[in-house]
A and B are shown apart, each in its own frame.
Chain A
């Protein structure tokens, strides 16, 4: 494994543009570099697919991330900070990774929502997952707008009608602050409280939301109805997902004694 890894890094340093998928490495484990070139072109002709899926192969680290938002390109020179100016100069020289099919330069594009759609998706049916999400947003908006129009004048300002705001706030309310990691010490495994990265917290919140809506619903309620009910409950800090978050926090609190088992 270590030999494999160093062959890969060696190859990357010499051939900056070459991004060979990891599957190719396995066949080249024991050969040296000079023999490698001969075997590739000679007898060992690896199968490359007709359509080379560039995105899911491992990019060379110096490829930069793409920037889909339009307003950043329309900003004049004067408004840029020094970091942004440096970034722009770097972009002129370095190659850029290909974007996924689901990123758009539209103003309505939201990375958090796209992530949620991908997590809800099953068997690659993105259209169905996206349809469910749009129906959820619509039903959230309908409930809130109905309440808004029926409410007396004084209470109107408190009702939040924006489904996107409700979604983001509900997700934030569901995100755990601290998590548990299974660490082995002296033959036994202990659940140790551990800080979580932002990505991990967001992932856990979305995962809990989706599993809860899939498992704990009536046979006859549709996914979007259950999702909209849960999101509204999470927005007002009630409901099963919030309960699950609190249980995780309580477990972490009760295992405080093992906190020093963490070494990072």
Chain B
């Protein structure tokens, strides 16, 4: 299997994700159009590209006794940031890390159907639906860690319910999924526990923690959620966002934070903005600073050829003219942008 030994020789080539991995590691992570493609072709294939390989080499070379390093994937719209993130997550999973994957942080700051005032802190707001959904997917992704990790602290939810010190993490997660009202606080507790325990060394049942966030610029932007008196809610006032920001701070050891910028789901940002400074804003850039930026660009000629041949092989390019004269037209129309190419080849 290619998983751990992908190198520059394999640039531009496709590798298949086993179906079991697709259901366990990515219950909620992959882009919508890619999921449709997986369903149509009956297999999931990812192209090995330079940004993902670079990230994986940094992860291999990093020192995990030092504070967590933060990586930021940025690039034009549709250039493959989310797919590179998923590739890196797959690598981390196969190496036995615990992966904390937030598929789209933008979904947590907009279109909130239920907003409850937080029981733990009076000025904050809870989002029960989003939190319980995320906990369910977290449970599917990290089954094997749930029984191994024990809680260090006692958590009291109501007068009658509490989770004792020393009980497995699985119990906490199950409680969060069933008791929807306190699920946001459960998320906060889970993140805190993982942060404290990831610092342990490898020998004494420690683990490495990978925090993967897609659309990290939503944590410092504005929200479209309104309180009952129609005044806007700032991101700090949401429990989920508050806890995530604590995760991103580099005051814990034994893991890495991999983030992606996204303009597509972001609120109140111009569509031409794609650089970190523009999308993160002053506050966000100062919190993320220092980080390692990884640029993701459109396909190179070799990668485009590879993608084209893959589509031909899977009987996706059906138009009789798409072989020779049509190829130049496709290159011109899509400018080798991966998502535009995918949408173009969908109807050709």
Chain A residues at the B interface, C-beta cutoff of 8 Å: 106-108, 134-135, 137-138, 141-142, 145-146, 148-150, 161-164
Contact = CB atoms under 8 A, between A and B. Distances in A.
B268 interface: no
Interface of B: 36, 39-42, 314-316, 318-322, 325-326, 329, 346-348
Nearest to A104: B329
B42 A106 contact: no
Given A108-B329, A161-B318, A163-B318, A141 B346 contact: yes
B345 to A, nearest CB: 9
Contact of B321 (A108, A148, A161): A108
A108 B42 contact: no
Which of A141, A146, A150 has the most chain B CB within a 10 Å cutoff?
Answer: A141
B347 A149 contact: no
A107 B326 contact: yes
Nearest to B42: A149
B42 A164 contact: no
Nearest to A71: B325
Nearest to B348: A108
A137 B320 CA distance: 14
A163 B318 CA distance: 7
Contact of A108 (B40, B319, B346): B319
B167 to A, nearest CB: 45
Contacts of A106: 329
Given A107-B321, A161-B318, A141 B329 contact: no
10 contacts: A106-B329, A108-B319, A108-B326, A141-B318, A142-B36, A142-B40, A145-B41, A146-B40, A149-B41, A164-B320
Contacts of A134: 346-347
Contacts, number: 47
Contacts of A137: 347
B346 A138 contact: yes
Given A106-B329, A138-B346, A141-B346, A148 B315 contact: yes
Contacts of B316: 141, 145
Nearest to A106: B329
A141 B36 CA distance: 12
B40 A107 contact: no
Given A137-B347, A163-B347, A107 B329 contact: yes
B318 A162 contact: yes
B328 to A, nearest CB: 9
Contacts of A108: 319, 321-322, 326, 329, 348
A106 B326 CA distance: 8
Given A142-B36, A145-B40, A146-B40, A107 B325 contact: yes
Contacts of A146: 39-40, 42
Nearest to B328: A107
Contacts of A107: 321, 325-326, 329
Contacts of B321: 107-108
B40 A164 contact: no
A108 B321 CA distance: 7
Nearest to B327: A107
B37 to A, nearest CB: 9
Nearest to B318: A162
Nearest to A143: B40
A141 B315 CA distance: 10
A61 to B, nearest CB: 34
A134 B319 CA distance: 13
Given A146-B40, A164-B319, 4 more contacts: A138-B346, A141-B346, A145-B316, A162-B320
Nearest to B325: A107
B324 to A, nearest CB: 9
A106 B347 CA distance: 15
A141 B316 CA distance: 8
A161 B326 CA distance: 18
Query: Which 8 pairs across A and B sit closest by C-beta, in order of nearness?
Result: A107-B321, A162-B318, A134-B347, A137-B347, A149-B42, A138-B346, A138-B347, A107-B325
A135 B346 CA distance: 8
